[in-house]
Amino acid sequence: MPRRLKGASSADTRSAILDLIRSSGRVSRIELSERSGLTEATISKIVRTLIDGGLVVEAGFAESTGGKRPVLLELNASSRYALGVSLDYARISIVLCDINGAALHSHSLAGTGRSKPQTVIERVAREIAKFLDKHGIARDDVIGIGVSGAGRQDASGGVLRSSRQTGEWEQFAIEAALNEASGMPVILENDANCAALGEFWSGRVSTAHDFATIYMATGIGCGIVINGDVYRGASSNAGEIGHLSIDIDGPECFCGSRGCLEVMATPAAVVRNARENRGLWERLDLRDREGEDVRASFGTIAAAAMAGDVDAETLVRQAARHLGTGVLGLANIFDLDRVSLAGPGFAVAGPIYLQVVRDVLDRLAFMRKVHPVTVEMGETGPGAAARGAASVVLHSHLTPHHLRA
């Protein structure tokens, strides 16, 4: 169901019509009028400005319903672009999307590692410039850069405040620095919110639905979409399911609490638990140092679990059950009927996680007698966060803001 327009200001109305055209694929002015509740005269005026601005093009005719065949409109997909960047300890990804949110090109570079923030940002800006040149994209045609980062943020200052980064990132204004270095508008969003908006823009989830996307890389977060936008909370840090405790006297977490999903269910936790099984550890040649090591070791365990290694499967199933218990809490608190699992943490053993999480929700969701909770797999490729970050730019630029809180 397309969103209904109600009392938007003229800029909002324009965005809303753009959004209706995007979500419709191809659509006539009459249909836009019917779906928006605006008069055909108003629609015609708005469509004119969108065509003049190069955002919308006419694309053939619809069937006649008696009179003249109505002209169909569609987004001019290559009129503008959005860039997404995911800043990760082990790897930085850059993705270029068209105005529909489809990924056109991507590029990978070395991660942030222990480099100084300013050094990283300048490197990213240089790589972006080269990347755009290589693909013949004019800087003026890029709406902006979405940056995906893990951990706490200070939204007002565009600052990452993650305990997992070095202290220098805590005071570092990423948005301002990358804007300065690249000359383009920049928006910072946490990786889970990027993934949720990526799901939304992928068209896999209807805009009429509230839903949550569990995002798993080496850590776990979630993006919660309410009324067509990410729910951000008091300081843009909503969705920290990684710090939901499912074992009050369990192992200590870096956040100070105990038994958080972060220490019970993440790929890093699976690798730590694997160390206690010496046979498995040596058989699979595992390592549990930071960053790429954990990711590689988890990938190895996940692959072994999928191949039927009983020890590996036990570890992955245990992590999946822990994750499922956290998702169960989330579903009970939000009364969700839809959850997606996304991010590179699900790339290999996704089917196991999907089966276990589904089973937990089917058996235990508090509202199971009223409605089921659907769990689906979302995007798990290495560029998921970066593509999501580009979606954040599109969402911020093209979505009617009156739909936001």
Binding site for a second copy (CB under 8 A): 6-9, 152-154, 161, 170, 210, 222, 224, 226-227, 231-241, 243-249, 255-257, 259, 264, 321-322, 325, 328-330, 332-338, 363-364, 366-367, 369-371, 402, 405
Token pair for 252: 């200590």
- Beta-carbon neighbour count of residue 75 at 10 Å? 24
d(CA 264, CA 244): 10
Q: How far is CA 131 from the centre of its chain?
A: 22
Minimum Å gap between C-beta 68 and a second copy is 33
403 touches 3 (CB < 8 A): yes
Task: Give the residue carrying structure tokens 């040149």.
Answer: 133
Minimum Å gap between C-beta 399 and a second copy is 15
CA dihedral 188, 191, 195, 201 (to 10 degrees): 10
Minimum Å gap between C-beta 210 and a second copy is 7
Minimum Å gap between C-beta 70 and a second copy is 28
Minimum Å gap between C-beta 16 and a second copy is 12
**Which is nearer to a second copy, 95 or 342 (by Cβ)?**
342
Token pair for 7: 């009392």
Q: How many Cα atoms are found within 13 Å in the side-chain-facing hemisphere of 109?
A: 17
**Which is nearer to a second copy, 33 or 237 (by Cβ)?**
237
Minimum Å gap between C-beta 20 and a second copy is 17
**Which is nearer to a second copy, 305 or 336 (by Cβ)?**
336
Task: Give the residue carrying structure tokens 């996940």.
Answer: 302
**Which is nearer to a second copy, 332 or 355 (by Cβ)?**
332
**Which is nearer to a second copy, 264 or 398 (by Cβ)?**
264
Minimum Å gap between C-beta 44 and a second copy is 21
Q: Which burial class, exposed, middle or buried, applies to 285 when counting CB atoms under 10 A from its CB (0-12, 13-18, 19+)? A: exposed
**Which is nearer to a second copy, 239 or 383 (by Cβ)?**
239
Question: DSSP secondary-structure letter at 205?
Answer: S
**Which is nearer to a second copy, 98 or 175 (by Cβ)?**
175
Minimum Å gap between C-beta 222 and a second copy is 8
d(CA 92, CA 108): 6
d(CA 335, CA 328): 10
d(CA 164, CA 161): 9
Minimum Å gap between C-beta 353 and a second copy is 16
**Which is nearer to a second copy, 45 or 231 (by Cβ)?**
231
Our CA angle for 156, 157, 158, nearest 5°, is: 100
Task: Give the residue carrying structure tokens 């202290």.
Answer: 167
Question: DSSP secondary-structure letter at 218?
Answer: S
**Which is nearer to a second copy, 102 or 208 (by Cβ)?**
208
d(CA 345, CA 200): 20
28 touches 44 (CB < 8 A): no
